[in-house]
Structure 1
Amino acid sequence: MKKILGFSLTSMLLLNSAIVSAVPSNTNLINPSNKEFKQVKIVEKFNKKSRKSGKEFKIHLNKANGNPNFIIGDLAENSVNTSKDAEKFMTENKDVFKLETGGFVNKDTQSDKLGMKHYKNKLVVDGIPVYGSEVVVHTTANGNVYGLSGNVTSEVPYKNWNKQFKLNSDKAIKIAENSLNIKGKNIEYTAKPKAEPYIYNKDGSWIPVYHVTMQFLSPFPANMKVFVNASNGTIVDSKNLVKTSATTGTGVGLYGIRNINLDLINNQYYMRDLTKNTTIETYTANYGSSLPGTVVNDADNKFDSSSQFDAVDVHYNSGAVYDFYKNNFNINSFDNRGTTIKSTVLYRDPRYPNEPFDNAFWNGSQMVYGDCSGTYFDHIGSALDVVGHEFTHAITDRTANLEYEYQSGALNESFSDVFGYFIEGENNDWLMGEDCYTPNTPNDALRSLADPTLYGQPAHMDNYRNLPNTQQGDWGGVHINSGIPNKAFYLAATSINDNSKLQQVYYRALTLYLTQYSQFIDAKNALVQAANDLYPGTTIAQKISDAFAQVGIGQASSASDTYESNNTLSTAYGPLSSGTSYKSYIYSPTDIDYFYFNTSRTGTITVSLTNLPKDYDVYLLNSSGRIVARSTRSSTSNETIYYSARTTGKFYVKIVGYGGAYSQSGAYSLNVNYPR
């Protein structure tokens, strides 16, 4: 009988950010601190449970604090079917995040089309949430916890945080308003301002704050995020995070005649689309700054004057973007609650009333399109991917809520670019903004997904731009460093060559796996997991992983390691054709290859594993994953299974290297013959 070999990856778990596929059986090999010891024990428990059920176990660590930001496996002893169950699971396993204070409270639950549920939990200390610390518990349809994703800080000191809040929320909002220095000008809100209490980290210091959000379009366009010290009323941070579309564009002027949906009231026609499950309204600011302005209207149903060109295209494009998200992801408006979609055209910044406004933006509650100079931009709202880009910002705000700074902000921009590309629907057009950007200069663009360096963006982490977190620094380079994940997307898209599947992967990753402070590596992990969820047994996950590795994000899998990712039963490659040879690799000490096939008749199944570069073993499993036959000969001897099947249906083949044996240069050959 073969002797099972073991190995320890304790130091990798505690010190590195690499994928960990095994954990130590002997924790005395190191002398970790108490909280690190507790963390290892939880990871050991997760790994043991995963091994017992035959599930692949992986853990990714945050380089900065050693906490996990993505865990995949079979993680819970008991099923999780409610938000209270999710909170209990997080409480029982909070040591995996090395927490000394606080616990988790469920804030949101989403169900997806696969029947899975996703419970978003925030870290709370003394009843106050910690800003940006959140974890999503991912469960299968039957309540098994198969994953955790998010970012958690474990350094919040314990104190009576409630007593630190000397101000109430109304006072915090007034302080935030006064900080704008608008000198008596009225604020025309597009959404009611709100103030939420948080524990916030500012340059290493933990501060009780109110997070005040203010969305308005006068006296200047703004989506303000102001952090007010709840103890003394000082401003801790303040950002105007209006997300502009200096990122995308596909049109110049009016593209011929559009069929648009209108509202007829007292013999007057209004740009109000009532044919959807929501309402789409298009307004004009008429070269001013009053918002939302006036609903575009006409005495007849022919909106053909030059002053209506922008409104016609924006109205039409808004309907097209709504239809894209509704038809592909079954969401109703940007919040999936049917909230009215409002757009305003011919807008000018009130600070510069005599100058054309060359931009478009989402301000947190509606979309706004400038009148444009005709030099820098022209008819910016006529471009479908501009509208798609801004609408995607709205979806991001209400799902992942990617913080608009540094890498999370660059992901925010990149996902809007990606969906602008999807919505535009021109598969080979990788340029962003080429039609509405500098219309008098042919063949230029604002950005290129295929080659970001053409327009001053990095395309690899080696050239990542470390910029200040200020407006002048583009909030840490959100529009600049987005070129890196954009390039990864291009590489994945051209390798996979199936945008219908890829857009499903990107949407699932954005809305279910990413969290507020997700980094580039988190996006890669989220996309790989989403691909495995949706398209198990295909190469989509591997190609996404390789695309990100090519731009310096994460490690590459081997392009020659065919049929990946097929490391679990749920991601098994197949169905195999009877009598056909399949060549692949056991590419690492923890690599396992699963395949499946379907029989329609009973009889003898023959599994042959030949051309072995190392000592590999092969197993035959039934449809429930139970081993029914095996071949475990020593050395590089061919492995053969003969099995008399008395039932029809699905069978699995499992191939594993004995004692961690693997080869990156020698391919094995698998051949299965079964009754047909």
Structure 2
Amino acid sequence: MKKRKFVTSVLATGLALSTLVVPTSSSVSAEEKIDKSAVQAKQKTKQQKKLEKLQEKTTKANAKFKMAWDEKKNAPRFISGKLSDKKANISDFLKENKDIFNIDAGEFEIQKVEKDDLGMTHYRTQLMVDGIPVYGAEVNVHTDKAGVVTAVNGVSDKKLENKKWSKSVKLSKQDAIEVAEEKLSFTPDKDTYTVEPASDLYLYEHEGKWAPVYIVELQFLEPYIGREYFFIDAKKGEVLKSYNRIHDAESVGSGTGVLGDTKTLNTFEQNGVFSLSDRTKPLGVTIETYDAGDQWATGSIVTDSDNNFTSSRQKAAVDAHFYAGVTFDYFKDNHNRNSYDNQGADIISSVHVRDPDALNRPWNNAAWVGTQMVYGDGDGSTFTALSGSLDVVAHELTHAVTDFSADLVYEFQPGALNESFSDVFGVLAEAEYEGEVDWLLGEDVYTPHIAGDALRSISNPTLYDQPDHMDNFRVLPNTQAGDWGGVHINSGIPNKAFYHIATDIGLDKSGEIYYRALTQYLTSQSQFDDARNALLQSAADIYGEDGAEYNAVANGFAQVGIGGSVVTPGNDTFEPNDTLGEAHEVANGESLTSYISSANDDDYYKFTTSGAGEISIDLTNVPQDYDLFLLNSSGSTLAKSENGRTSNESITYNASSAGTFYVKVIGYNGANSTSPYNLTVSYPSVVVGDGEWFTEAASFDTDHPYSNNSTDTFTYEKPGAQKVAIHFSAFETETGYDFVHIKDKNGTIIESLDGNRGSFWVEVDGDKISATLETDFSVTGYGFTVDEVRYYQ
């Protein structure tokens, strides 16, 4: 069975639809396999037809159809184009296209509708089965000003029975809350919670089995900071899973402390007492700052008798208060967001919060706890007061923004994205306030006695033990010791992607794109690939899909190993030549100049020898550590040159017979440069005697589109000719699977062509040439058209 690699890079390049093959299990009987295969084939056909219909709508509207595919889930994770003929009823659209996501049961229910400044409308929907939401099954639908669906994204591959799940629910919501409370390490009372306990019924998959489950959330500040989640079997009352979802700074952090600078504060006076209560913000938002009194409570609002908050005790509160206002202003001024919930919620902060594991010890942390921010004082060695760093405050408030938009779950890749987006907006808010960018996080409060270090670095995550490329992604357990699957550690990868993007197009444009992706496209279960897709679509919405901003996003993620790059026009001479099928033909003795333009750029060249003899390849003027390879017609390596720290690479190879060969030039470990390299290739070739080319008209077309599992051959023969050639005026096949084989008079395959190409000539030695299209079992394309032939004699 062939594997289809529909990675997210197709979002930038377009996609021919695939038949989606579902593997069968080896543990079932032959009869069961046949039955299951028949069902899967039927489902696959329904899915493909729906996708083809969406593609046809897009094509008719002269727009680009793009799709990112999730191989594991056998469903699209992102589709964009003109996906409806006219203003769409979103519920009907989702019902009609349910087969795309392999949904057997349930319907999508619209949960939230938002209209943005571009005139687009965004619908967040939830899959419901028997009136119960399916955990993690979320699909977002996006329409343009006219109401035409332009994009669909999310997670929805939930295969479960269409039955009366509600009949197995034996517990009430309150029962579930009581079960959760019994699992706490203390006995809560009526004053424990900062908000009322929440208990929501979901269908949840646990250890491969679906069941109704209550998800209970308990929020409190005493006797420790808690935002405890419990997944409770709604039939048996068993706790299936639990965790404390506190969005906090890394437990081992960095900073330089509260700097002692003077700030202008917005305060509130009552009966001659001034409090840190800022009521100047628009739309009724109040920002208030409290002193927790070295306890685990919100505490008391910070006050002063002369409106000068200058005591040592007040410093942490001054910074928390001021920086909360700065962060509010950033989101309001740049993204028109009205507080973290976009509904004017008050912003509450508490300082002098103690370590929950030892109440007599200062706390080296800060957190968003679901209702407010809390800041520790630091131990004076690892941290000073954490509210003293603007990017830390903006980081925590961005967690709140995420809670009320994408709601990225705090584990594995979604959790790493949660952390990364907080880091991104921490940098953006600080850069706007300071007037210049600082790529370090928490540098003002980490290790106050050590200058120049930080908690994290956006520009170079490896400085603080974070990976900056998917090659170094860390697989960690979903435990506190495992950083909840690496939420802080692996955030270095998308952070580095942001650095590449922001240095390319600037902070303002990057901020617009990132905010739109977070609030309109990402869902709770989004992975790194989904973030790339969301950011690409956001860039296309704002700046167009052919703009430098779109390319910057694609290239930024490509440089950290997520998706493919988009080559900047003019910076790569022979693009596209990134695959064997796109290889640029090089003449004997020809000297070429080109570039390795990005970390994922591979340059391929091809040539055909006339017989046995020496092949010589020289790569000179190399600006970085580049490597050189000689490949045979099947793409296997025959010889290579991989010298480090040299400006030249060369290969000499003795070919035993005539054939087609390829040259590959790559950058070692992602090396790339805007400076060009030079390539010269010499090989055995026939010196044709005196003569000339004669051109004749021809007319041949394969079926348009061609069929699956078929062959179609065009042959041209000119007896006595030294060379013959055919001209393809149109050429398109499924890349990597459907090929046009070029054969000479002896029936030898000279080369095999695939993909989407412009018009071009193909020639062979001798007086006969043929082109045979051979197709596989799925996916069709245009085929080819021949309009001219020629011969040399």
Q: Which moved more, 1:51-60 or 1:421-430?
A: 421-430
- Alignment match of 1:301 (pick from 307, 317, 321): 307
TM-score, structure 2 as length reference: 0.67
Query: Distance between the aligned counterparts of 2:60 and 2:293, measured in 1?
Result: 67
Q: Kindly tell me: are residues 26 and 284 of structure 1, through their superposed partners in 2, closer, same or farther at Cα, counting changes over 3 Å? A: closer
Number of aligned residue pairs: 561
- Structure-2 residue corresponding to 1:263: 268
Q: Secondary structure at the match of 1:147?
A: strand
Q: Is the 8 A contact 2:254 2:447 kept in 1?
A: no
Which residue identity is paired with 2:10? Answer: I
Query: Distance between the aligned counterparts of 2:78 and 2:425, measured in 1?
Result: 24
- Alignment match of 1:113 (pick from 102, 113, 117): 117
- Alignment match of 2:416 (pick from 399, 410, 414): 410
- Structure-2 residue corresponding to 1:474: 483
Q: Kindly tell me: are residues 162 and 560 of structure 1, through their superposed partners in 2, closer, same or farther at Cα, counting changes over 3 Å? A: same
Q: Kindly tell me: are residues 78 and 164 of structure 1, through their superposed partners in 2, closer, same or farther at Cα, counting changes over 3 Å? A: farther
Q: Is the 8 A contact 1:249 1:385 kept in 2?
A: no
- Structure-2 residue corresponding to 1:272: 277
Q: Is the 8 A contact 1:509 1:526 kept in 2?
A: yes
Which residue identity is paired with 1:207? Answer: A
Question: What displacement does 1:551 show?
Answer: 0.7
Q: Is the 8 A contact 2:268 2:277 kept in 1?
A: yes
Q: Kindly tell me: are residues 17 and 556 of structure 1, through their superposed partners in 2, closer, same or farther at Cα, counting changes over 3 Å? A: closer
Question: What displacement does 1:184 show?
Answer: 6.2
2:226 maps to 1:222? yes
Question: What displacement does 1:241 show?
Answer: 1.1
- Structure-2 residue corresponding to 1:19: 10
Which residue identity is paired with 1:437? Answer: Y
Query: Distance between the aligned counterparts of 1:57 and 1:378, measured in 2?
Result: 52
2:453 maps to 1:444? yes
TM-score, structure 1 as length reference: 0.79
Q: Secondary structure at the match of 1:182?
A: coil
Q: Secondary structure at the match of 1:213?
A: strand
- Structure-2 residue corresponding to 1:206: 210
Decide which structure has the larger Cα Rg and report it. Answer: 2
1:162-183 Cα deviation digits (max 9, x unpaired): 1121111111111111111215
Question: What displacement does 1:254 show?
Answer: 3.9
Query: Distance between the aligned counterparts of 2:10 and 2:277, measured in 1?
Result: 51
Q: Secondary structure at the match of 1:558?
A: coil
- Structure-2 residue corresponding to 1:131: 135
Q: Secondary structure at the match of 2:91?
A: helix
1:294-338 Cα deviation digits (max 9, x unpaired): 000111211111110111111111111101101011111100111
Question: What displacement does 1:190 show?
Answer: 1.5
Query: Distance between the aligned counterparts of 2:178 and 2:150, measured in 1?
Result: 45
Query: Distance between the aligned counterparts of 2:307 and 2:537, measured in 1?
Result: 49
Q: Secondary structure at the match of 1:288?
A: coil
Q: Is the 8 A contact 1:335 1:398 kept in 2?
A: yes
Q: Is the 8 A contact 2:292 2:299 kept in 1?
A: yes
2:158 maps to 1:151? no
2:756 maps to 1:660? yes
2:340 maps to 1:334? yes
1:67-105 Cα deviation digits (max 9, x unpaired): 11100111113412xxxx211110111000011111110
- Alignment match of 1:243 (pick from 247, 258, 262): 247
Which residue identity is paired with 2:373? Answer: M
Q: Kindly tell me: are residues 419 and 51 of structure 1, through their superposed partners in 2, closer, same or farther at Cα, counting changes over 3 Å? A: same
Q: Kindly tell me: are residues 26 and 212 of structure 1, through their superposed partners in 2, closer, same or farther at Cα, counting changes over 3 Å? A: closer
Question: What displacement does 1:161 show?
Answer: 0.9
Q: Is the 8 A contact 2:351 2:375 kept in 1?
A: yes
Q: Secondary structure at the match of 2:122?
A: strand
Question: What displacement does 1:560 show?
Answer: 4.1
2:391 maps to 1:385? yes
Q: Is the 8 A contact 1:250 1:386 kept in 2?
A: no
Query: Distance between the aligned counterparts of 1:227 and 1:24, measured in 2?
Result: 39
Q: Kindly tell me: are residues 164 and 561 of structure 1, through their superposed partners in 2, closer, same or farther at Cα, counting changes over 3 Å? A: farther
Which residue identity is paired with 2:514? Answer: Y
2:177 maps to 1:169? no
- Structure-2 residue corresponding to 1:568: none
Structure 2 unmatched ranges of 5 or more = 22-36, 573-596, 603-726, 731-753, 761-793
2:494 maps to 1:485? yes
- Structure-2 residue corresponding to 1:671: none
2:377 maps to 1:371? yes
1:172-228 Cα deviation digits (max 9, x unpaired): 111111111215677621211111110112232212111111111111101111111
- Structure-2 residue corresponding to 1:551: 560
Q: Is the 8 A contact 2:6 2:68 kept in 1?
A: no
2:289 maps to 1:285? no
Q: Is the 8 A contact 2:54 2:83 kept in 1?
A: yes
Question: What displacement does 1:19 show?
Answer: 2.4
Which residue identity is paired with 2:294? Answer: Y
The equivalences for 1:597-636 within 5 A come to none
Question: What displacement does 1:240 show?
Answer: 0.3
2:196 maps to 1:189? no
Q: Secondary structure at the match of 2:294?
A: strand
Q: Percent of counterpart pairs with the same letter? A: 43
Q: Which moved more, 1:175-184 or 1:391-400?
A: 175-184
- Structure-2 residue corresponding to 1:504: 512
Q: Kindly tell me: are residues 447 and 411 of structure 1, through their superposed partners in 2, closer, same or farther at Cα, counting changes over 3 Å? A: same
Query: Distance between the aligned counterparts of 2:399 and 2:759, measured in 1?
Result: 45
- Structure-2 residue corresponding to 1:53: 61
Moved over 3 A (4+): 10-18, 20-28, 183-187, 247-251, 559-563, 634-637
Which residue identity is paired with 1:524? Answer: R
Query: Distance between the aligned counterparts of 1:27 and 1:356, measured in 2?
Result: 56
- Structure-2 residue corresponding to 1:643: none
Which residue identity is paired with 2:316? Answer: D
